[in-house]
A = this chain, B = another copy of it.
């Protein structure tokens, strides 16, 4: 009974086979047949035929007709980073559980590409869009608005659509404090030994820097501008910043606040160039959690952003008819060195053995 290489069956094929009209077939197969007072026996007949011929609806046709597609989009800056890829993982699961089809795309943190990508998604009539880590959420908002597409910001807030983001200020405070406390009274960290590397001029970085500086002031009593080294979200730029520092000072700062795991990769590149001893007494705090990073040869304190809760909240908000443009903060979690947390992969069953 398999369609062998032929075209896929359509409602018209089933219409002929069943002797019913196409609209009847359609109604039966999309579940509206009771409303349309189709006889139960007719429905069964058609359902059987559909199964035999492996009918599946052409979703483009359906989408065209309804001007909805069943697609739900997630726009990411990048894929290959544990924070965003685990967000993608939980996003998929959540969308599937709502009976929709998840579609995840990345736009490289490039405003132009963000807009182009979103236009494409809109052209496919996606139903909803989750905008994560966009550099320019408000422009994206404008596009969605014009197309009547529900959307929400995640991770980086916008001013025109509801946003769900990490509490970067609190997270940074926790992280900075944890770094400081990691040193015992004997060799207490001095203010000029605690640096922040990475990030750019976006909301998340600003908040993290603010938290970092506030705690530095509170605990160490000083907060020098020179201790803030924003390098963008680029491993290489971050590496250069470390190299420059090292060349100048002959060592690394003892306390390092790294703005994201992407910037942390800059430190890795630096590490590859320098012997173990260089890192003998440093303490690193990283905003983002990566299981492998947590076990590096020096203490690495990490912040795990709760993307599961962020997405859950976002799903809740996006369903609302009259969205209130406000920012919802989700508390991140401090992760002590040498900690292997569970992740979305753990909810996947692994059968065979």
Contacts and interface: CB of A to CB of B under 8 A. Distances in A.
A64 B60 contact: yes
Interface in A301-353: 338-340, 342-346, 348-353
Contact of A58 (B5, B125, B342, B351): B125
A124 B292 contact: no
A18 interface: no
B79 A88 contact: yes
A123 B58 contact: yes
Contacts of A145: 5
Nearest to A77: B348
A122 B58 CA distance: 8
A200 B349 CA distance: 13
Contact of A271 (B200, B338, B349): B338
Nearest to A292: B292
A49 interface: no
Interface in A53-73: 54, 56-61, 63-64, 69, 71
A162 interface: no
Most buried by B among A71, A147, A230: A147
A345 to B, nearest CB: 6
A268 B297 contact: no
B103 A235 contact: no
Contacts of A264: 292
A104 interface: yes
18 contacts: A5-B146, A6-B146, A7-B148, A59-B120, A60-B63, A60-B125, A79-B88, A79-B89, A79-B92, A80-B343, A84-B85, A201-B353, A230-B353, A268-B292, A271-B295, A272-B340, A292-B292, A296-B297
